[in-house]
Amino acid sequence: MEYIRGAKEQGCIFCKYPAEDVSKHRERLLLCKRREAFVMLNRYPFASAHVMVIPDRHVSDLSELSRDEHAALFELVRDACGVLQKAVNAEGLNVGLNLGAAAGAGIAEHLHVHIVPRWRGDLNFMPVIADVRVMPEALDATWARLEPLFRPLGEPAAP
């Protein structure tokens, strides 16, 4: 609800953030960047270490990706799943896309894949009765812990 009700930045953050200098990555929650896709923490997570894998190109549907872009996106999804499972000792992962606003996409105009770590018994009643999520770790601390593990997945930025 904070996202829905809050003021929105102008333009697409998924286009703007990865184009910024690497010095902004922590503030923007970017964990790694490849030529055609990148990984960032979700600012409004469903669970600790909830990340998104996002194609560089501004498209809203899988059918708009080229074969190479699709392959690059899902290669990074696969690699991010492996890092995330080990980094947070996840017993499982939810991996998915919300295609379109009606499907729940907060930023429907730029496709993104969610990866949410899961553990047995991690469901609680707080979101149901109080519209509250309990996060055991602040986003900045999560970024600081995960970024060194994700860094090897990235590629140097083109000159």
What is the set of domains in the chain, with CATH numbers?
13-142 (3.30.428.10)
Q: What is the pLDDT of residue 153?
A: 92
pLDDT exceeds 90 at position 73: yes
Q: How far apart are CA 18 and CA 34, in angstroms?
A: 10
Q: What angle do CA 72, 77, 78 make, to 5 degrees?
A: 100
Q: What is the pLDDT of residue 137?
A: 77
Q: What is the pLDDT of residue 105?
A: 85
Q: Which of 25, 50, 112, 114 is catalytic?
A: 112
Tokens of 72: 């690059």
Q: What is the pLDDT of residue 138?
A: 86
Contact 55, 74 (CB under 8 A): no
In the chain, % of residues over pLDDT 70:
84
Can 110 be counted among the known catalytic residues? no
Laid out side by side, the sheet with 30-33 consists of 30-33, 37-41, 51-55, 113-118, 92-97
Query: Counting every residue, how long is the chain?
Result: 159
pLDDT exceeds 60 at position 1: no
pLDDT exceeds 80 at position 36: yes
Output the DSSP codes for 41-83. Answer: E-SS-SSTT-EEEEESS--SSGGGS-HHHHHHHHHHHHHHHHH
pLDDT digits (tens, 9 = 90+) for 109-154: 999 999 999 988 776 544 544 454 555 678 899 999 999 999 999 8
Entry pTM: 0.85
